[in-house]
Amino acid sequence: MTPRPIRGIVIKQDRQIGAVLIRGSRTRTPWMSFGLTHTGDGVDKVYYGADEEPQDGAGIDYMSFRVNRPATQPITFSDPSTDKMVYMKYTQRAEHGSIGAEEKSLQLVNLEVDQRGIIGHVDGLYVSVRGRGTGVSQAALWGAWVRCQIDAGGTITTSYYGLNVGLRPSINAPAASAGIRIYNEGVGSYTAVAAALAIAQTGSSGCKGFKSLIDYEDDALNASSRSGVVIAEDGDAVLIITAGAPSDGDYNAQAKKGCLLIDTTNARLYMNVGTKASTDWDYVQTWTA
């Protein structure tokens, strides 16, 4: 029997080592490509030459997965009722033994960008989710969903984080630096986003939830004169928590007029009634019921 090729798929060997294109018809799904290629919506936008070499000034995708589910083929409400572009599962059964908190014996995905040339912007991970159905209402739209689940029978001895973000500057950090930044890039005069950060308890009534909303270590807070700045506005302190009474002049050029300071040693609440350039700390002397 004469072998028949797979319809709609072309496998092309590149002259460069390791570059292979697996391309399917745009009218069929799935559609994948591995190699030097970039395809736009509507019309193919090819950004490589005859030898599969990238052209100057052209962005490329080295690996691209594209799936188009037709409107005539809806997802049925059965299990599993979810489309997945990529599905990966690692079942770890072997014992590694005792390890330190920073040792990583298992990583489902490891993404690294080694940026050595001059470039304007670098994203280690970029996620874009768009709700574009005309006249269609989505129940929810989430840019990213991270679930870190502990099941019965296991024991976590060191730490338990849903999201762990580590900054490691080997040079001076710029003024606009943060572990996590949330910003609204909406356009037009639309209803404002309800909150930049929403913290909720969705477990059962017996679940204890969180012990605190924010937990910080004092040695992690570092100001030029004293540590303790918890909340800042445009880089200037508006709330400070520190052990010990402040002296006039503390936090000069840092604390805005009206900045509050909590002295946890003497249980006093201070306010800067001076200026940012010359602080004057007064405290509340009488508390009334």
Closest to 262 in 3D by CA, of 277, 280, 278, 284:
284
Spatial contact of 129 and 141, defined as CB atoms under 8 Å apart: yes
Burial of 261 (0-12, 13-18, 19+ CB in 10 A): buried
**Average pLDDT over every residue of 125-145:** 82
End-to-end Cα distance, the chain = 94
**Average pLDDT over every residue of 107-120:** 85
Contacts of 263 (CB under 8 A, 6+ apart): 242, 243, 244, 245, 246, 269, 270, 283
Distance CA 267, CA 106 (A): 46
What residue has token string 């989430």? 142
Highest mean pLDDT among 94-103, 105-114, 136-145, 240-249: 240-249
For residue 98, the model assigns a pLDDT of 58
Q: What is the mean pLDDT of the chain?
A: 76
Distance CA 49, CA 14 (A): 11
Q: With 90 as the cut, is the pLDDT of residue 215 above it?
A: no
Distance CA 201, CA 209 (A): 6
Q: With 90 as the cut, is the pLDDT of residue 200 above it?
A: no
For residue 33, the model assigns a pLDDT of 54
Distance CA 265, CA 272 (A): 18
Distance CA 152, CA 48 (A): 52
Spatial contact of 287 and 276, defined as CB atoms under 8 Å apart: no
The torsion angle over the Cα atoms of residues 173, 145, 90 and 62, rounded to 10 degrees, is -60
Distance CA 136, CA 179 (A): 36
User: Which of 45-49, 55-59, 179-183, 278-282 is least confident?
Assistant: 45-49
Buried b (16+ CB within 10 A) or exposed e, 227-260: ebbbebeeeebbebbbeeebeeebbbebbbbebb
Closest to 229 in 3D by CA, of 198, 253, 193:
253
Q: With 60 as the cut, is the pLDDT of residue 35 above it?
A: no
What residue has token string 């604390």? 255
